[in-house]
Structure 1
Amino acid sequence: MNVIHAENIIAGELNEFEQAIRLLKRLHECKARQYLDSWCKRGEAGVYHNVMRKLDRMGNIYQPYADHETEITDWFPLVDCIADTAVYNLKWLGRMGQWHPEALASLTAYVCEQERLQAKEK
């Protein structure tokens, strides 16, 4: 059964990763209209602290389930937190091009090298 029920995602057309990325993009667009650039108004340190806050919240939500103390009956707080954390990290990665171009360049070089090695294996 397809878990993501978004009206413009057709089951079977996209893999799970692509579905999640599309859903994150839509979530980002909705929240960006509301919050604008508040996610980075305190610079990179502020972004880091926002990500850490989201991770702490995710842990607090999930820990009772992980410890088998309870069952999750309302999944929204957890998936919302996971999605927010993913969006923050993607936005942070994108902003690296402005804050630390060499960092993004090193990731780009790594990806290109991995693609080259995989093409060579074929």
Structure 2
Amino acid sequence: MQGCIVATLGQLLEISEGIPPTGPVYIFADVRDVAEAHVRAIEVVEDGGRRFFTVGGFFSNKRIADVIREVCPDAEGGLPRDMPDDFHADVYGWDNSKSREVLGLEYRDLKTCVRDTVQSLMRLLE
């Protein structure tokens, strides 16, 4: 990816001291998916007033760093490699099937979300 600047990514992600531990919430949703959910919830009149759990999947800061390393090889030196993944698979579960079925949502995965975010940030720095 052209224009990846290790120092800038390090500053943006505040990882100069290593990757911070992942917080107690291990789920994410791409903001574009959340926006789409809001629009579709307004459009689906027959389901007015229902609540939908909009979540794309699990994440950890290590997994985010791994995706950045993959999509932006120039960042390799600024991203710690030897940090263990602190995601606990048995932490809890979630079910977004209602938002998929009623609203027809297809969630972006973590790799897509992080890749698109990095590309967007890099365009701002050009």
TM class by shorter-chain length?
Answer: under 0.3
User: Is the helix fraction higher in 1 or 2?
Assistant: 1
Structure ranking higher on relative contact order (CA contacts 8 Å, 6+ apart): 2
So what's the TM-score if we normalise by structure 1?
0.24
